Amino acid sequence: MEIEFADKSYLLPDPEPPYPSVLIEVKEAVAFRKPVQSEAHRFDYPHRLSKIIFFLLHEGPRLASSKARAAGFQRRLHAKRALVLAYGKIREGSDLFVGLGPQEYPYSSVLAFPRRWCVKIPDREQWRPVLHRVLRYLSEHPERFEAMHGWSPYSGTHVEFDLEIVLRDIDSYGAGDGGNDAMIERRYKPSPRKSRFQRKEPTMGNERALFLIGAGAYAQAYVLPSLRPLRRHTVVDLNPAAAAVVGAREGFGYWDTSATRALTRLRHLDEPCVVICTYHSTHLELAERALAINERSRIFMEKPPVTDFRQLCRLFELRRQEGAFIEIGFNRRHSRIIERCRDLLSLRSGPITVTYIVKELGLPACHWYYWPTQGTRITGNLCHWIDLSYYLIGAPPVGITLASPSGIPAGDEVSMVIAFRDGSKATLVSTDRGNALRGVQEYIEIRRGDLTLTIHDFLKLEVQDGARHRVFRYWFRNKGHAEMYRHYLKAVENRMPPSYPAEDLLQVCRMYLAASEMARRGMSTLSLTEPEAYRLTASAGLRTSDISVTGFGRVG
């Protein structure tokens, strides 16, 4: 298929969506305007120049420019997402079809639509009546429009819609008897041209091949700059524009929208590096698929590694397979400030008390973090500080106390206390309230004996050691991303095992998954001391909610 982006065209393979679909060679299409939402622009900071200056001064020009370019590109892509009605021939045949469905990037010569959202039409003359009938339907059912616009096969939601039923009484509507034309964002026809950018066969060399699965803003800002030594082989993203533009800009040999198809290229490579930065619920499935195709694949899985307890069972067993290499991407434990804190803590004995106050990013209600399949924001975000707590304390957790206001999504605005077996305690307060200039902001205080360590947003470390007070200032805010990928590359190069321990994986995932379930169910306390918590089983007779309570703790 051919897509157009920023007056350039790119060639990619046809889409292979993970649901029963119809591929339509688009002759004409209409992108519908999404209803205005009060939270639609919560990502935008009103003083962008101030934000850019802050990041230039406190994260360095290289990272600041990467983040700014990635964020700008992502905003442009996000603005293009639309609910699209298109007609044309099916990809393998001559029948004319009309399809309706959400498109990550509409301006493509071939689009995929859910099968139930497609209908065959006899000729082009039916296109205009169909358009007006769909317009009328969407005008009369704005809640259905909103649900269809936000639907994804990875969201875990179901939209009850059948285009054939909607068009059943089309003859009773005249060509001009449509809905609100203001809903039409753009009518367009693909304009095929000689492609300026077409993938080139990757050059063969001694460098290890990089497979990047997920080319979002994080991957562009952090992953690709940190993995420069790897040969760019394949980039995959559900959004064809992201796959094509990042693929062309970064010199990848293959660009694709289907991870299933792309990963088959692992078969003939020696120790390829597969970095997974996709929807959280898909991390494990992609890792399993990559290792099944090439057991010598070196997997790097971004946080969170799993989103439910069954995935944890599978991942735990997968990492135990002989030769399996799966690194886990919790970056803060790799930060230089955290390493200094850990060295200082090792000079003292006794329980540790850690307190976090975290300013999170404000997310619109339609953000994919809120999909049922993705867990809560405890799973998606707070897992960072749960992991850091276990890294600093090192003792098994015994209980969780959690408070989260009602009337907001589960896992937002959280206050959480985790108790550990040695008497240590981690307290985490998370909110998206406050000034957003610095992005995610962190205030961390760590106490052990008469030692107090205070981290000010990874820019300053205060050490109060008895009567001695020292301050360490850092030019740039460093949360450990570069060091984490450097350790990954070192392990791959030297054929070392992944650095993230199995015990840490078990304990950290137990904590954030249990806390997420508590937030969902309105629970305030949970004991984690049941013996069954250590004997992970994926019993087919248990639901996820059952496993979280009966297998991972007891309600207190």
pLDDT in tens, 85-101: 999 999 888 899 999 99
b (16+ CB within 10 A) / e for 344-358: bbeeeeeebbbbbeb
Q: Residue 81 is encoded by which pair of tokens?
A: 């997402």
Q: Which neighbouring-strand residues pair with 30?
A: 85, 187
Cα gap 421→417, rounded to integer Å: 13
The answer on pLDDT for 546 being more than 70 is no
520 with 316: CB under 8 angstroms? no
Which residues, 6 or more positions from 31, have their beta carbon under 8 angstroms from its beta carbon? 82, 83, 84, 103, 106, 184, 185, 186, 187, 188
Phi, psi for residue 111 in degrees, rounded to 5: -125, 150
Say how far residue 139 (Cα) sits from the centre of its chain: 32
**According to the model, what pLDDT value does residue 42 have?**
47
The overall average pLDDT reported for the chain is: 88
Tokens at residue 467, please?
């009567």
Q: How many helices (H) and strands (E) does the chain have?
A: 17, 24
Q: Residue 221 pLDDT more than 80?
A: yes
Q: Which of 295-304, 392-401, 534-543 has the lowest mean pLDDT?
A: 534-543
Where b means 16+ CB within 10 Å and e means fewer, 469-486 reads: eeeeeeeebbbbbbbbbe
| Annotation: CATH topology of 333-477+500-555 | Dihydrodipicolinate Reductase; domain 2 (3.30.360)
Q: How would you classify residue 157: left for phi > 0, otherwise alpha for psi between -120 and 50, otherwise beta?
A: beta
CA–CA distance, 174 with 165 (Å, rounded to integer): 18
Query: In this predicted structure, which of 35-49, 107-121, 365-379, 420-434 has the lowest mean pLDDT?
Result: 35-49
Q: Which of residues 539 and 82 earns the better pLDDT score?
A: 82
The DSSP-derived string for 190-220 is ------SB---PPPP-SSPEEEEE--SHHII
| pLDDT average, residue stretch 210-232 | 96
Burial class (CB in 10 A: 0-12, 13-18, 19+), 225: middle
| Four-CA torsion 36, 38, 41, 47, nearest 10 degrees | 130
pLDDT higher than 70, residue 180? no
Going 473 to 475 to 477 to 482, the CA torsion angle's sign is negative
Q: pLDDT per residue over 396-449, tens digit each?
A: 999 999 998 877 888 889 999 999 999 999 999 999 898 888 889 999 999 999
Residue 548: pLDDT band by 50, 70, 90 thresholds?
very low
Residues of the chain with CATH 3.40.50.720: 209-329
Residue 66: enclosing H or E segment and its boundaries? Answer: helix 61-80
Q: Which CATH number fits domain 209-329: 3.40.50.1820, 3.40.50.720, 3.30.56.10, 3.40.50.10800?
A: 3.40.50.720
pLDDT digits (tens, 9 = 90+) for 239-263: 999 999 999 999 999 999 999 999 9
Domain with CATH 3.30.360.10 in the chain: 333-477+500-555
* pLDDT value for 539: 34
- The pLDDT of residue 307 is above 60: yes
Beta-bridge partner residues of 543: none
User: Which percentage of the chain shows pLDDT scores above 70?
Assistant: 88
Q: The whole model's pTM is what?
A: 0.90
